Amino acid sequence: MRKKLLLILIFLIIILILLLLFLEIKLKNSNQNMNMKLFQNLEIQTKNTTQTIFDEYNKTQKEKLEAIAKIYKEDILNGADPEVIEGMIPIYYENGQWKKADTNSSWYSYKDLNWANVAIPANEKKNYYESASPGTIINEDEIIGYFVWVPRFEYKLFNVNFEKIAEQMIEVNFVSSIADKKTKIENGIFFTHPAFTANFNDKTIELNGFWIAKFEPSINNDHIEIKPNKHTLVNINTGKMIEYANSISTYNNLQYDSRIITNMEWGAIAYLSQSNYGKENNSDYKGISKKIFLNTAMGNSETWDNVTTGCSSGVTASGGTLNCPYSYDKKYYGTGASSTGNIYGIYDLAGGSWECVMGIISDYPVKDDIGGFVGKLPIDKRYYTLYKNGNMYDYSRGLIGDATRETLSSTIENKSWNGNLAYFATKSYPWIKRGGTFRGGTFSGIFDYGITDALPRGDKTFRTILSKY
């Protein structure tokens, strides 16, 4: 009997063990299935999340591409379109006000001589204007100034032998920086203007254009402004001019360099103004009035330090008066003082104050003390147009594109086009200045160039450029 019970007990134990093994296997399989389902669900969720992220990225990229595609580009610029960077507000003029432009519409037209303009807001107003709707009025008290886009161009060579030649319209084509560069020098063929080639850090960089200050500079609380109806900043050493010009970029957190214009860049502006896209081709003006009207706002008669920016005499000479009869926004009489003959051009190029350019009689590298310079000169060649030494009537030193010996008067000895002064810098006065002054009369103008040093003078100022390099 006891033996029989023992067998039953053993049997029951075996059954229990088998049952436990079965349950363990069952549970394991169940966990595996559950884990598999969890893994599958996680995989699905991950795929969905990845797809969502991918879709969102594609959507964002598509929106960006669509936004870029919508940005207005004028066909005749051939890719040399205005480069509007962060901190710049595209603007247009309407009913006596500058307003924020819609970059998806035609906010500029070089075909119609309406060069692209931007305003640079003061730091505390950047967010407001960047988020503002098109049509928002630009409050001049809330910006540091205005700049105008000079697109890259090629021009038809007209005087490669540097003869004395009559004034003429210069034929210009706008071109992109990726277009084939034209370097052959021969009358009657197109040549890529050198102002758009930057020799920077031993590298040659081709630029699509640059922004130039619309007016001569003024000063406000030791910061530079580029506005009309202000007193031009004068009577400072060229070293201080460079320092002030550089500060526009650093103080306003712009991603482009700010600096003083070179003599070659001045030449580009002179040629563009004299072209089919400048005042020379503006049908509102006839004959002598096609010249840029003079800024004759003298200010202080002894120190010349109160010249007013953006002023116009309304004529191409002083007209017997040394004041400011017309503001820059007065149609015809005021706007005639711009490079286009309308409000979209560049002002103070004729008369006002002499503008010191980075054109120097020097070898490279340039010595810091040249011509009484005080401060630190830029290191790279990109910041200069350098010339050989000679007397002030030795025009053989001029370069193709700089509006010196290509534009010597055919009727007046030792003068430039329109009877403007033509005095080339010398070893004693190694710096070049452009444009003339309020008191220059017919001698002043966009083709005017003279000699100077780096010392402070009451009739000298500078012009600022913004560019990638």
Q: What string of H, E and C letters represents the secondary structure of 97-147?
A: EEEECCCCCCCCECCCCECCEEEEECHHHHHHHHHCCCCCECCHHHEEEEE
DSSP letter at 76? G
Nearest Cα residue to 115 out of 248, 210, 191, 224: 210
- Beta-carbon contacts of residue 233 (< 8 Å; ≥ 6 apart): 216, 217, 218, 219, 224, 244, 461
Q: Which two tokens stand for residue 403?
A: 């509006």
Is residue 190 within 8 A of residue 175, CB to CB? The reply is: no
Measured distance CA(142)–CA(331) in Å, rounded? 25
Is residue 114 within 8 A of residue 344, CB to CB? The reply is: yes
Nearest Cα residue to 173 out of 191, 197, 198, 187: 191
Question: At residue 136, what is the residue type?
Answer: T
Measured distance CA(252)–CA(191) in Å, rounded? 36
Is residue 235 within 8 A of residue 458, CB to CB? The reply is: yes
Beta carbons within 10 angstroms of residue 68's beta carbon? 9
- Beta-carbon contacts of residue 458 (< 8 Å; ≥ 6 apart): 234, 235, 300, 303, 304, 305
Q: Which two tokens stand for residue 181?
A: 């560069």
* pLDDT in 10s for each residue of the chain, 469 residues: 555 666 676 666 777 666 666 666 555 555 555 555 544 554 555 455 545 544 554 545 444 444 445 799 999 999 999 999 999 999 999 999 999 999 999 999 999 999 999 999 999 999 999 999 999 999 999 999 999 999 999 999 999 999 999 999 999 999 999 999 999 999 999 999 999 999 887 899 999 999 999 999 999 999 999 999 999 999 999 999 999 999 999 999 999 999 999 999 999 999 999 999 999 999 999 999 999 999 988 765 666 667 899 999 998 876 556 788 899 999 999 999 999 999 999 999 999 999 999 999 999 999 899 999 999 999 999 999 999 999 999 999 999 999 999 999 999 999 999 999 999 999 999 999 999 998 888 899 999 999 999 999 999 999 999 999 8
pTM of the model: 0.85
Is residue 430 within 8 A of residue 371, CB to CB? The reply is: yes
Question: At residue 420, what is the residue type?
Answer: N
Is residue 344 within 8 A of residue 93, CB to CB? The reply is: yes
pLDDT at 405: 96
Tell me if the bond preceding 365 is cis, omega within 30° of 0: yes
Beta carbons within 10 angstroms of residue 62's beta carbon? 10
Angle CA(155)–CA(430)–CA(274) in degrees, nearest 5? 20
Residue 42 — φ and ψ, nearest 5°? -65, -40
Residue 382 vs residues 139, 206, 259, 417, 454: alpha-carbon distances, Å = 35, 12, 11, 28, 20
Partner residues linked to 61 by β-bridges: none
- Total number of residues shown for the chain: 469
Is residue 398 within 8 A of residue 424, CB to CB? The reply is: yes
Q: How many CA atoms lie within 13 A of 399 on its CB side?
A: 20
Q: Which two tokens stand for residue 270?
A: 């002179």
Torsion of CA 446, 448, 450, 455, to 10 degrees: -30
- Beta-carbon contacts of residue 72 (< 8 Å; ≥ 6 apart): 103, 104, 105, 106, 107, 108
- The domain segmentation of the chain, as residue ranges, is 89-155+183-467
Measured distance CA(351)–CA(355) in Å, rounded? 9
DSSP letter at 419? G
Is residue 49 within 8 A of residue 57, CB to CB? The reply is: no
Nearest Cα residue to 348 out of 444, 458, 261: 444
Measured distance CA(152)–CA(211) in Å, rounded? 11
